[in-house]
Amino acid sequence: HTAAIIDLMGGASATEEYRRRSFAVNVDGTKNLVHAAQEAGVTRFVYTASNSVVMGGQRISGGDETLPYTKRFNDLYTETKVAAEKFVLSQNGVRGLLTCSIRPSGIWGRGDQTMFRKLFESVLAGHVKVLVGNKNAKLDNSYVHNLIHGFILAAQHLVPGGTAPGQAYFINDGEPINMFEFARPVVEACGQRWPKLRVPGRPVWLAMSAWQWLHFRFGLPKPLLEPTGVERVYLDNFFSIAKAQRDLGYQPLYTTAEALEHCLPYYVELFQQMKAESGQSLVSAAVPVPPEG
């Protein structure tokens, strides 16, 4: 199960409708799938969670699956993923269904319409002027083919007496990296200049958190950066794949460099497409539409 509303805003300031929509899809939708699987006699269920279920705004360097669930929810995505993963794992062994959960990091590769699309939107809007946080802050990512490999291994080990039933696993590329250093070659390949000036992360996070509160309470436009997204680039948040290696025999199929070589043409094409669409939108706004008839 991989469908979800991926929005890193939320917290106590979120509107009730915003909360209802996120829980309806991410939690209730997951419960419906589990119950449907049990009704149909399905025996294996691999859930897609997120590494954010244990983060909670703390620095994590090489964290493992013994970390407790976070109780600090600054975004609804994390809050709903915690609730859904807890439910999925609680259903392990119920009515013949074996369950486990995979916790990816940022998912990237050909077909990506989330990670780099958001970055490209910011670049095209002229918002990428500085880099946030220390250059030594690292996170990890999950190249789509490495992630799929992890899913297949989990399903293969999701059998009676196997290692996977009832377990959660971090699946990533095993190469922690600074987010801006990861993104730089992609943006430069798109013909865009990459900023060099860095600003401290904490003040940016405070400003975006206040902006988010104003957005939900008074209807101001969304903040330029989601507070949780800011935390991810200025705080260490990378996780060990040792448990997946031990239990599932997982090893990334591609290094970050190999994966980037494979999917760079896709990202350049995506950027050019978005750039063209952005130009068309500006033209449409500037040229009056002739009346019909």
pLDDT tens, per residue, the chain with 293 residues: 555 555 544 454 456 788 899 999 999 999 999 999 999 999 999 999 999 999 988 999 999 999 999 999 878 899 999 999 999 999 999 999 999 999 999 999 999 999 999 999 999 999 999 999 999 999 999 999 999 999 999 999 999 999 999 999 999 999 999 999 999 999 999 999 999 999 999 999 999 999 988 987 888 888 888 888 899 899 999 999 999 999 999 999 999 999 999 999 999 999 999 999 987 554 434 444 444 44
Q: How far is CA 257 from the centre of its chain?
A: 20
Count of Cβ atoms closer than 10 Å to residue 191 Cβ: 10
Q: Count the Cβ atoms, other than its own, within 10 Å of residue 17.
A: 8
The reported pTM is 0.88
Please return the burial class of 281, using the count of CB atoms within 10 Å of its CB with bins 0-12, 13-18 and 19+: exposed
**E strand residue ranges, 87-203:** 98-104, 106-108, 131-132, 141-143, 168-171, 198-199
Are the CB atoms for 233 and 133 separated by under 8 Å? yes
CATH of 11-274, one of 3.30.1330.20, 3.30.499.10, 3.40.50.720, 3.20.140.10: 3.40.50.720
| Catalytic residue, candidates 18, 47, 69, 77 | 77
Q: Is 254 a catalytic residue?
A: no
